[in-house]
Amino acid sequence: MPETLWLSEGGEEIQKLVKRVASARRVVVVTGAGISVNCGIPDFRSSSGLFKQIQASHGDVVSKGRDLFDASVVFRTAQATRIFYEWMTHLREQCERAQPGVVHAFIRQLADRGQLQRSYTQNIDGLERKAGLEVWDPHCPTTSPECVPWQQAQSIPLHGTMDRLTCQLCSSSDSHNAVAGDSCSDCMSRSQQREQLGRRALATGTLRPAVVLYGEPHPHSEDIARIIGHDTRALQGRKRATHDVLLVLGTTLKVPGCKQLVRQLAAAPTTTTIVVNNEHVCGRVWDNIVDYQIIGCVDDWCSRVQRVWAAQTKITQWTRVRKTLPANCSAKGQKVTGERRSTTKKENVNYVVDETVESQTRKVDHVVVEIVQSQKRRARDNDSIECTQPEPKRWRAELPMRRSARIAMRESIELYHQSLSICT
């Protein structure tokens, strides 16, 4: 079985995995309904999920909540179809009000850092687009400026999206004013044109959400298979020296298509597969596929990775400041003798940096003292009471430079200490 870890307990192994994700060359993310619960959208299978709500409200029509998302049940009777459209309209309103959460911001940050290979989502809420990701939309016309080619898409909605409604008859789409269950405007327009010509009227289709239900074929399965194949070859073509990560967040891995997706992407030898969910989801069936199973909140997991990124940014800023210092004020560590050095790496770095600051400060102070003493000697030799500036222009030029270097060094060291505190 995959190695199981509890996020609340922390530990060295959790920290290693967090750092591995933070420093991964490429990351593929597969997400489920669990990442949108904190955004105000219910999941499907939990005790308070959408399936339980539907069963409690319409137990006389459907035997279980899942049936309202089953194509063989929904369109069997007019009453079931009406209830389906009502729930889809309610769910669409929830999706429109919801805002992206921690996981969505984490995926966007992966994309901004150049680490995101692709994000595959089973969700139909469209929060990835609100988070600023480039989302592939197969219903969008290729001539539209909003169309994103799949090669450039950062997020792939596996089960469609609530943003659009499609006609069951002519497959035309509407993304704005229409409501699920309304008649298709394109079908009505064509029928009216025929009637004006004295011909018989055509059948009019009904708009439904552009989502894939249980028991119906996926209309864009070939396109999605092409994208998955491309990403699989990209992961398998990596050198063994690099490491990639497959992150599975907030899903129970019960949908067959999602199972196959994870199996295919996890086959690359250099890929580490990590599943994060608030409950145990991986059994023996996932042996040699999933490497680690982390039980805990997905938001907490993503926040930990973001804190590591923040610490890396602080250290990078400190390094850039250090490189701008004069050569005689370099903050490179020097060998410390006379006292025992700390045992841990963090304490070791702190000790070396502190000793370096003291050493460089003593050098600058020594130079300043020499300048003042030189001024006093010259004043005495000239029988002058006031302390005059030294004659050589070199001293007048170097004194403010050394003082500014000293201030810059202290600011950079303070910035470095702040970055170390974030790491902990």
Catalytically active residues are 159
Backbone angles phi, psi at 116, to 5 degrees: -80, 120
What order do you get walking across the sheet with 207-211 strand by strand?
173-174, 160-167, 207-211
Question: Where do we find the tokens 């996020």?
Answer: 7
